[in-house]
A and B are shown apart, each in its own frame.
Chain A
Amino acid sequence: MEIQLACELPRVQNMVHVQGSAKPRLVTPGEVIYQDTSFMRGHGTYMEEGVQVASVAGYVTRVNRLITVTPLRQVYQGAVGDTIVGRITQVQTNRWKVDVNSRLDAELRLSNIQLPGGEQRRSNLEDERGMRGLLREGDLVCVEVQKISDDGLLRLAARSIKYGKLSQGTLLAVSPSLIVQDKQRMHDLPCGARVVFGANGYVYITPTVPQEQASTYTVNFEEVPVDIRKTIGRLRNCIKLLAIHSIMISPTSVTSAFDMSVEQEYEIKDLLKPDVMQDVAMATVQMLNE
């Protein structure tokens, strides 16, 4: 075991200097954004006495007449079409409750998953009884947000072959705002592992699976060989260090951090040390800047 004194640890430094150009406006709660009432108010703002006021600390974005303030950290808000990773928390009569790092547990209906066997067959009573056989409490699923109901409940769907239960691997939870918005969420990285960047901040790392084997609700319990484990472990630690230093997480940043750590010959477990983490993070930022 290595022991460090708290005063010896590197302080998290300001890694980049703010470039003057295109700096968005930052506001904190209670601050007036615009005096003008003609704007529409979006998330993170509210109207009072004819002025628009921020209710979170973050940056202001304006799309046409809609003003929103995006905080740097918050629970997952949900957007239709997002691919997310969730964990089953309850099995109910014809639906599952799924923890998706949101303010309410999301809902996945039995009718919204692709049942094994038939392509688009209707679910029957037997399926309802066998729900726990498909997905149990604790299981991880990769799903799509289909709809957001009025009270903010997310309705999920897993209607295609790429969604479904996740097989062996490891989960990392990061802040959802660190995940780069991207259509494609599942990436087979060149280093030899598949990473699912859930839009809700849950990142799942698994071994690459051949396309035809990507079955939906059965898990392959075959032992994962050591070299793939090493890759996954390194990826995990890299994503973790990026998240700690609030660097946006995308396939590019993860791959560069991964390459950087290999290049500097850090062992996987070295990447758990704060000083090494900061080194790699800074190097990654530099590399991304170039």
Chain B
Amino acid sequence: MTDLNLSDAEKSYIVDGVKLGIRVDGRGRLDYRQLEIETGVVSTANGSARVRLDRTDVLVTVKMEIERPLPDQPENGRIHFFVNCSANATPEFEGRGGDDLATSLSAMMERVYSSPHTLDRSKLCVVKGKHVRGLYIDIEILECGGNLFDAISLGVKTALWATKMPKLYVTGEDGGELEFSVSDNPHDIDRIDVSNAPILITHLRITENLTVVDPTPEEECCGPVRVVVSVTPQGFITATQQFGSGTFNPQTLTASLKSARDLGQKIHNRLLRKLQQEEQMSDRQVKGFL
């Protein structure tokens, strides 16, 4: 993803380490780094979250707008994903440099959330066939430290959890156009049910038959091919996608899917617990970016 250029010696050190089950930083093959989350970092958004995974730093904001539904789904709200790889992350993203990566990330998120099992979009309906809520989810990559897919999916789920949409009331009709009033009471809000929202688990193939999760940028250099699996808290797999040039052995792939499922469920549980804990803190100071 970034223009790291490792020497053969470093690569072989990483690859051998994976074979022996001990990675360069001492983790095992299926160990994640510690994740750091915070919600409510941007006050102008309906919901926001910042997720850090070692050096990876992602900011997700959710903004709600009223719009027309798609003709074939008159009662479903719409969700749009936009990824922006800012030049803050690495200078290669300057200008249009990050566009390819951004497209593949947003396309993946779009696909993951397109499944009806993930979010109940009919809850976003205001007036059937006419007005629905649209969620604009903007993902800002602030720093790249490997494993962007997992980080942004966790960020999106966290931001959706934190999203507070003011309740809408239909107040009247004016020449066929409905009029709304938006409640400005901060407690009169709608939340989004994220109990089924999936997260992504990436398995990076380092060498024949062996994959690792949560790769560092150095490791991403050694394995060109990865499989990204989207897992719901119930353990359903809603989407998979293989990225990069390279081949997977069918057995490796099955094993990866299985381990992604197990890991995914565990992470979902922990995430939910932490989010509830954060919400119960009464005088939480937003740490933000300082």
Contact = CB atoms under 8 A, between A and B. Distances in A.
A13 interface: no
Give chain A's interface secondary structure class.
mixed
Given A87-B5, A138-B5, A271 B26 contact: yes
A27 to B, nearest CB: 24
A140 B27 contact: no
Nearest to B284: A7
B17 A4 contact: no
B267 A1 contact: yes
A88 to B, nearest CB: 8
Contact of B38 (A7, A165, A236, A274): A7
B26 A3 contact: no
Interface stretch (B8-16, B75-83, B165-173): B8-16
Contacts of A223: 16, 19-20
Contacts of A165: 7, 9
B108 interface: no
Interface in B2-38: 5-10, 12-14, 16-17, 19-28, 31-38
A182 interface: no
B8 to A, nearest CB: 7
Nearest to B28: A269
Contact of B22 (A5, A170, A229): A229
A224 interface: yes
B59 to A, nearest CB: 12
A7 B25 contact: no
Nearest to B273: A3
B274 to A, nearest CB: 5
A267 interface: yes
Contact of B26 (A139, A171, A237): A237
A71 interface: no
Contacts of A2: 32, 34-35, 270
Contacts of A44: none
Given A1-B32, A3-B271, A6-B37, A170 B24 contact: yes
B272 to A, nearest CB: 10
A22 B209 CA distance: 60
Contacts of B10: 140, 168-171
Contacts of A137: 5
B8 A219 contact: yes
Given A6-B38, A274-B34, A226 B22 contact: yes
B285 A7 contact: yes
Contacts of B37: 3-6
Contacts of A9: 36, 287
Contact of A269 (B9, B26, B50, B267): B26
Among A6, A7, A136, which residue has the most Cβ atoms of chain B within 10 A? Answer: A6
A234 B19 CA distance: 19
Interface in A1-57: 1-7, 9
Contact of B9 (A3, A219, A232, A273): A219
Nearest to B213: A1
Contacts of B218: 170
A103 interface: no
Given A3-B35, A269-B31, A169 B26 contact: no
Given A1-B35, A4-B35, A219-B8, A233 B50 contact: no
7 contacts: A5-B274, A5-B277, A9-B287, A166-B7, A229-B22, A269-B25, A272-B33
